[in-house]
Amino acid sequence: MNQEISAIRDRLGKELCILAHHYQADEVVRHADILGDSLELARHIDGLEARHIVFCGVHFMAETAAILARPEQKVHIPDLGASCVMAEMVPALLAEEVLSRLNRDGARIIPLTYVNSSAAVKAVCGNHGGSVCTSANAPTMLRWALAQGDGVLFLPDANLGRNTARILGLSENEIERLDIRGQGRFVPAADPARKLYLWPGLCAVHAKFNAGQVTAIRASEPHALIFVHPECDPEVVSMADGAGSTTFLIKAVAEAKSGSTVYVGTEWSLVNRLATRHPDKTIRPLRRALCSNMAKVNETNLARMLQELDTALPVRVEEHIARPARIALERMLTACS
């Protein structure tokens, strides 16, 4: 498998670029030209010369790459079924409906979506003066969005929204978690006392971490450090020694003293790689939490994808969706440049 991939890479040279998210398994990561978190990978697209971009991650990431790539570039994902459970929690039509209910008394609520969302949801944000954020720039982008209107509708990750609001110093009575129940029936009009409306989405992987696990580690290993991703429950985040994006977690582990024990609350493939990379420290997952969708991409389907590059259907986003979604993404890239 390894040799087949190397042969195709040698044949295509600069025509091919393989990108991988940090949550990919080692068997995939070792073939990546660029490894990064969601923000880093999105930033790289603009400068890529390759005609074929193979994205090893989940579908919304490949879609984001397809929106930002030039028309002559083709973006592929080795398994089209690698979706993101959180991204699926926000249908674009429902987001549009909820936004118009919030705005029905003349308020101007700005939609801000986590990059873990469909292109159609990013398009809703682009069409209504909003933007996109990643876990690495959520505080900057929430501050930006709050300055644009009367309040913000943050989609789809309620935990990231609340954790970010706390960093910005918003009080609990300025935040409302929406009760959507599928039809948008229970969404109130915007209340001038509220600054932030949270879509009730979550990451099934990071939802596996809870306060009880942190308490148990604190009791049995009081010197252990605990770092978590901001998709975790706010209680877990407030009990941890630090919280931040995938890149923050990698750095926090690297900077921990040799000999220390570090628990990491994020996707297991990354924690596993960090443990191998830092044999002088004890690196453990807060709990083993694998993203089964990220794991759908493997060396076998990567090799097959590379063999079929010329005939496989690329990831495409229709222009009426891609155009406003690109506007939303570009607002983020400009605000965080």
79 is a site residue for ligand SF4 (CB under 6 A): no
84 binds ligand SF4 (CB under 6 A): yes
**Cβ nearer to ligand SF4, comparing 35 with 205:** 205
CB of residue 243 to ligand SF4, shortest distance in Å: 15
Amino acid 333 reads: L
Give residues 141-180 in contact with ligand SF4 (rule: CB under 6 A).
Answer: none
Contact between 50 and 73 under an 8 Å Cβ cutoff? The reply is yes
Of ligand SF4, ligand 13P, none, which one sits near residue 293, judging by CB under 5 to 8 A according to partner kind? Answer: ligand SF4
Q: Which stretch binds ligand SF4 (CB under 6 A): 82-90, 187-195, 212-220, 240-248?
A: 82-90
Q: Which position among 213, 267, 285, 315 is part of the footprint of ligand SF4 (CB under 6 A)?
A: 267
Nearest approach in angstroms of CB 205 to ligand SF4 is: 4
Cα separation of 305 and 285, whole Å?
A: 32
Q: How far is the CB of 143 from ligand SF4 (least distance, A)?
A: 23
**Residue 217: φ, ψ to 5°:** -70, -45
- Judged by CB, which is closer to ligand 13P: 116, or 163? 116
Using CB under 6 A, list all residues that contact ligand 13P: 37-38, 84, 116, 134-136, 203, 231, 245-246
Residue 58 in contact with ligand SF4, rule: CB under 6 A:
yes
Choice between 190 and 294, CB closer to ligand SF4: 294
Minimum CB distance to ligand 13P, residue 79 (Å): 15
Does position 205 interact with ligand SF4 (CB under 6 A)? The reply is: yes
Q: Does 336 bind ligand SF4 (CB under 6 A)?
A: no
| Least spacing, CB of residue 42 vs ligand 13P, in Å | 9
CB of 87 to ligand 13P, least distance (A): 9
Q: Which residues bind ligand SF4 (CB under 6 A)?
A: 58, 84-86, 116, 203-205, 267, 291, 293-294
